Amino acid sequence: MTLKIITHPVFALHPVPMGHPERPDRIRTVWQAIEAGFSDIDQLEAPLADQEAIALVHDVRYLEYIASSEPGEEEGLNTLDGDTHMGFHSLEAGLRAAGGAVLGVDQVMTGQADRVFLAARPPGHHAEPDRAMGFCLFASAAIAAQHARVNYGLTRVAVLDFDVHHGNGTQAAFWKDGDLSFASSHQMPLFPGTGALDETGVGNIHNAPLRAGSDGAYVTQVWEDYLIPKIRAAKPELILISAGFDAHSRDPLANINCEAEDFGRITTMIRQLAEDVAEGRIVSLLEGGYDLEGLRSSLTAHLTALS
């Protein structure tokens, strides 16, 4: 089975305020982990998503708003909300994050790869159709899902999200579409405040809120016993992963006690699911993970399971 990696140098140029957790060192750590353990894997350059791709999820007026919010090179940062900022290069980074997700779908749907990992920032799963939030500009996973349906004739696509924060943007984009499935484990209560068990859309949304202090054994059991069977029943033809590693015990933004090997186990379950129902097709997108050591070890376990 062939794994490819998609990334771009601009992902290190998206600026944030001093002390912000979603800092450029995150992507540099990811690149270091890839170089250390996966240097033999083919790497592709993330292209810019075009307006047509963004419009699969976001209103054109929203894209215009984001484009107009980027300051000039000497103008510092523009704040979209308390967590989400734009500086020079942010628009390109956001568009290449979405474009990389689209390219990942192209790769697996044309048989050029079986699995793809997108190493990008800013993340995407908090971006709602009409709102940037939670460090995110564009809902890359949701855009990729719709791209697969519009351009490759797929009916059923699933996003599986093990980031410690609920992927409210993906959920919002999928809410009324029964052929798009979303499964998420996340700490609750915690930002963004969504993801309750009774948030089910049209029966296609499957949330597993976790209590603070939950350990990796419990989280993997939740995936094995609840979330994986829900997605298996939906029989997706393509699986997307919102791969956030902030459920790691070292992460400063939450209180779930997973270790690197737990992310490997969850990824192995997802890989087996994809082999059973989706011809092995997986596109994984980097989301959160804010402790650099935890991010490095968890990503290594994730890529090992994918490859």
Q: Whole-model pTM? A: 0.97
> Dihedrals φ, ψ of 91, to 5°?
-60, -45
Reported as a single tens digit per residue, the pLDDT across 220-266 is 999 999 999 999 999 999 999 999 999 999 999 999 999 999 999 99
Of these residues, 126, 147, 165, 248, which one is catalytic? Answer: 126
Q: How confident is the model at residue 1 (pLDDT cuts 50, 70, 90)?
A: confident
Q: What is the pLDDT of residue 211?
A: 98
**Domains of the chain in sequence order:** 3-306 (3.40.800.20)
Taking residues 119-147, what's their average pLDDT? 98
Q: Is 126 a catalytic residue?
A: yes
Q: In whole numbers, what is the pLDDT of the chain averaged over residues?
A: 97
Between the alpha carbon of residue 294 and those of residues 231, 267, 289, 298, the distances in Å are 28, 16, 7, 6
Name which of 168, 164, 165 is nearest 141 in CA terms: 168
Give me the pLDDT at residue 71, please: 96
Closest CA to 126 of 136, 115, 114: 136
